Structure 1
């Protein structure tokens, strides 16, 4: 059986690569402040397209989306057999890295959705989280790739559905209080770090300086 690579969307919708690229460029200010090509894109996509709210943390969202595109591209380059190889995390395979990226995105998306629809966020203990990652590491390659692709796409949709006031709200999940605005920076840090941890040619100099100063300040001089 061939490799189970990340699917693309056909027809009138953007391909996966085009969707991620568009996500990385997404922002949330008035049309009059957009560049002409961005205004043209919004007009072409139509009124049904999603955009970030005006008070969304634009810089952090852009960095997180760029990191997502980078991570998924490095994942796409790996064969199914190569997913079994060791990652930069001691004692953990690349599968574990992919599972962590996917499950964190799913957890964040569910938490954001809970606030948006005013429901109770799902709770998971630290032990439950570790067990979930262990199970994720053993998923079939196709399922593992789909987890990463689907969960990151879902999270991006939830971010874009948050209103202005929602971004400063806090929610308690598993005993921790989370502010959505700050959580985007956490996601940006993790997605770029894990892209490097795949040990698939990812370079620290590819990581935006704004993220490197948060996860590895001593590497900021590397270009």
Structure 2
């Protein structure tokens, strides 16, 4: 593997890095890579995998940085990437998606992702303590085409206080593969919660679902709905 990284100057730890197979050539997207110590750090590369142009990004936001300023920076970054149709983002943005309705900037960030037709690959807590469970690390992709197969999850180990997030994306679906659906038998939904869910669902641009096959459209819809239910119920 080759390691592409951006290291901090003022501190001996921190920074962002992307490991990529030595058999795969790539280039750094300098116009997207930003490094502002004590605020946010990002690194973007572009490569070609199986004939597909793929943009990979790694983004970290420090907990003490200005949340509103970061959301503005991130929205501008996605605007620069609007023509990239195969984008994968690994993030530790220090926004807890479980508290999206209690923190305006977290809500704004989630709306930016959903409005841009990104799939949130992680829906379980990524940082767990004796008193708190938060979802602050995630992997996002806008590649949810007909033949795309996405598998994601968490690695349960204690090397760090954050659980490593995992994501495997294949652009060719194996024949006869069936998607597994988790069925929730009962939810206690109050009228106020139902109203908030309806409002959030109406804010999302669902047009992209018309351009993909029914199985993948259902997977994307189900994952998005799951995030909304977890944050509002």
State whether TM-score is above 0.5.
no
**Normalized against structure 1, the TM-score is what?**
0.28
